[in-house]
C-alpha cells in the first residue's frame, strides 16, 4: 500500500505501471472515506492541449526513487474514468472508477461518498 506521509512530496513524480512503463505524473490522492487510507491516485495523462486526470487504485502500489509504481498496466490505466485537470469527481461517477478495475463499490451506510481528495 502506498503510504506517503505528505502527498506534496510525491506530487509531480512519475507514475509507472507493473512493467515500469511511464503512465504520467501523480496529481493527487483520493482516500477511502471509511478508513481515511489512500485508495486511488489521479495521474495526469495526455498531450498538453488535452490533459486529463485518470484514476488508478493504490492497492499494492510501491514507491521507488522518484516514482510511484502501480499494480495495473498502462493500457488499463489510460482507459480509466477521467476528469479534467481542474475538475472534481462527481459522486454519481464514483462507482464507474471502481467498476473499471473490477473492485467492489458500496457508498457509506448513509449514502455518503467513498472517495475524498487529499
Residues 43 and 24 sit within 8 Å (Cβ to Cβ): yes
pTM, two decimals, is: 0.88
Over residues 67-88, the pLDDT tens digits come to 999 999 999 999 999 999 888 8
Over residues 18-28, the pLDDT tens digits come to 999 999 999 99
pLDDT beyond 70 at 95: yes
pLDDT beyond 80 at 108: no
Over residues 10-48, the pLDDT tens digits come to 788 999 999 999 999 999 989 898 888 889 999 999 988
SS (H, E, C) the chain: CCCCCCHHHCCCCEEECCCCCEEEEEEEEEEECCCCEEEEEEEEECCHHHCEEEEEECCCCEEECCEEECCCCHHHHHCCCEEECCCCCCHHHHHHHHHHCCCCCCCCCCCCCCEEEC
CA-CA distance, 117 to 21, in Å (whole number)?
25
Single out the residue of 117, 112, 109 nearest to residue 89, CA to CA. 117
By mean pLDDT, which of 4-18, 56-70, 81-95 is the weakest? 4-18
Distances (CA, A) of 116 to 16, 46, 48: 23, 24, 26
Q: What is the pLDDT of residue 7?
A: 59
CA-CA distance, 40 to 97, in Å (whole number)?
9
Amino acid at each position: 500500500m502506498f503510504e506517503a506521509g505528505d502527498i506534496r512530496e510525491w506530487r509531480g513524480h512519475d507514475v509507472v505501471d507493473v512493467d515500469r512503463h511511464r503512465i504520467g505524473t501523480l496529481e493527487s490522492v483520493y482516500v477511502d472515506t471509511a478508513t481515511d487510507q489512500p485508495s486511488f491516485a489521479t495521474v495526469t495523462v495526455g498531450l498538453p492541449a488535452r490533459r486529463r486526470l485518470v484514476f488508478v487504485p493504490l492497492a499494492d502500489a510501491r514507491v521507488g526513487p522518484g516514482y510511484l509504481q502501480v499494480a495495473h498496466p498502462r493500457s488499463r490505466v489510460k482507459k480509466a474514468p477521467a476528469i479534467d485537470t481542474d475538475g472534481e469527481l462527481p459522486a454519481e461517477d464514483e462507482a464507474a472508477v471502481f467498476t473499471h478495475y473490477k473492485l467492489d463499490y458500496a457508498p457509506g451506510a448513509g449514502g455518503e461518498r467513498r472517495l475524498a481528495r487529499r
